[in-house]
Amino acid sequence: MANLDPPPTQSSRDDSTVTPTTSLSRPNQAPSASSTLAQRSLVTESWGRCLTAGLTREGMGLAPILLQPQLLADCRSRHPLMAMLPIFRELLAEAVHDAGCIFAIADSGGTLMWVEGHPKVRTGAEQIHFVEGADWSERSAGTNGPGTALAMGGPVRVLGPEHFNEAVSAWSCAAAPIWDPDSGKLLGLLDVTGGNPAASAPMLALIRATIRAVESELARELAVSDLAAFRTQGDFPHLTGGAALVSPGGRVLAASSGLGLTRLSGLVDAGDGSSQLPDGRRLIIEPVGVSGYVVARFVETSDHRHPTSLVRLSALGRDSVVVEVGGKPRAFPPRHSEILVLLALAKDGLTTEQLAAGLSATPLNPTSIRVDMSRLRTRLGDLLTSRPYLLRGSIRSDLDVVGDLLAEGRVSDALSAYPGPLLPHSQAPGIVAARERLHSQLREAVIATYDTRLISGWLETRWGIDDAAAWEALAKLSPEGSPRWTQATTRALAIRAGDAATPTT
């Protein structure tokens, strides 16, 4: 049966189901380590942000209602999540109603666009301004589900008195962000608000599953649009300076040979049909006939301060770096490969001492460094400068590609773009650090997706096959007793016991 009562006051709560995490006896202060009630760092940090923003708990007002009906309707009609409402309703409506809760969809600024759910609870929520058009960002409403999820960029649960504003301490909520598969930017947030069930672990799991379904549908629609743009544009002819087919979110879908870009963002309007990058490079922008998609053609100018040639560097999954300049690949021996990677990572260049420290844990003779650099310069010409040692021009490495995809939240694409660890047999300290950093970032991102397909893909690689944590994650996502659960559990236990072979890199 549905709970038809509005969220209970704190005095009527069952302490066995709600564990308040902050003391309310000290107004206008963030929770201290000496509080008698348990604390969570999430709440402590959020209260700190509220105080820094100038909010005070004593006499704090309710969330402001920024959007009146006509403006709200206009914002809704333009919001990409409006088309996803049927999915939200199908997956959430019944469960949320039965739990005596309501759900809300907010925009990327924390303003509530849609609020739906149990009628009686929705009426009660109106008393705290949890209504369509209200701003529930932390700066306006204090610690709360939508606002704190927005501030953190991840899922949160806020239980009763954890709210910064005492006026809403009778309510609980859970929320998580929704990401644009095209731009990688925040589209909005999904929140469930009500009594205790709203902030339960199962409710947060339902929220995350709903978001995953919505993001999958957005990705499917995006793939259809991408295909239409490909068909409209066709192949690029050889063009001086290069050209790229760019999605509305800035993804480079195709490019003329040697351009080597995965994203064109930060475009600055420079007049009719043209634009420019922040570094000053000029572009001609041409629509391709599919809404939002354009072809960006690079225009060479006599006063261009940057080299027009792109240097592409491939170092993942190989022991010998390949550098492509003007479409011509060149392979380099191991020591020169290490130097090239270190220079590519150091955008401002390296001194002889810095280069030596990156190459060896023991002191190197500066003369040997200078000899290596002289030999490199013979092959690279004016691409390599000294004082400091620096690779000139536009350097694009496969490390950059994987790192950028991870930063955009495109974990599947990042895994596909990762042929293996960086210079896997190099023991140079700078290479080892960069290798472990990127490898760990990708591994953690794959496991954090809770996507059995991606985790299985990681475990099928020679560098991931003996990853105990990944096997354990796969086991948790598999039905207990199933063949996959048995395999994953057995494999994880064997690795933990030291019976598995050492991971191959």
Mean pLDDT throughout 262-289?
A: 65
Residue 295 exposed, middle or buried by CB count within 10 Å (0-12, 13-18, 19+): buried
Any idea what DSSP says for residue 65?
Answer: B
The pLDDT tens digits of the residues spanning 166-213 come to 999 999 999 999 999 988 888 999 999 999 999 999 999 999 999 999
Query: Which pLDDT score, from 0 to 100, does residue 54 have?
Result: 87
Both tokens of residue 367?
Answer: 């003369």
Q: Let me know: does 99 contact 194? Beta carbons within 8 Å.
A: yes
Tokens found for residue 343 = 């220079």
Candidates 258, 256, 231; CA nearest to 244 is 256
Structure tokens at 209: 């599953």
Summarize pLDDT for 409-419 with one digit per residue, the tens. 888 888 988 98
Q: Is the pLDDT of residue 104 over 90?
A: yes
Phi (first) and psi of residue 51, to 5 degrees: -65, -40
Q: Which of 71, 445, 505 is nearest to 317 (CA)?
A: 505
For residue 391, pLDDT beyond 90: no
Residue 59's pLDDT band (cuts 50, 70, 90): confident
pLDDT tens digits along 306-347: 444 567 889 999 999 998 876 678 899 999 999 999 998 887
* Between 243 and 113, residue with greater pLDDT: 113
Structure tokens at 401: 């590609």
The mean predicted confidence, pLDDT, of the chain is 82
Main-chain phi, psi angles of 486, to 5 degrees: -65, -45
List C-alpha distances in Å: 468 to 110, 416, 447. Answer: 39, 21, 11
pLDDT over threshold 50, residue 25: no
Is 39:20 a contact under the CB 8 Å cutoff? no
Between CA 19 and CA 35 the distance in angstroms is: 13
Alpha-carbon torsion 346, 347, 352, 353, what sign? negative
Instruction: List, in order of start, the domains of the chain with CATH numbers.
Output: 10-221 (3.30.450.40), 243-299 (no CATH), 309-449 (no CATH), 452-505 (no CATH)
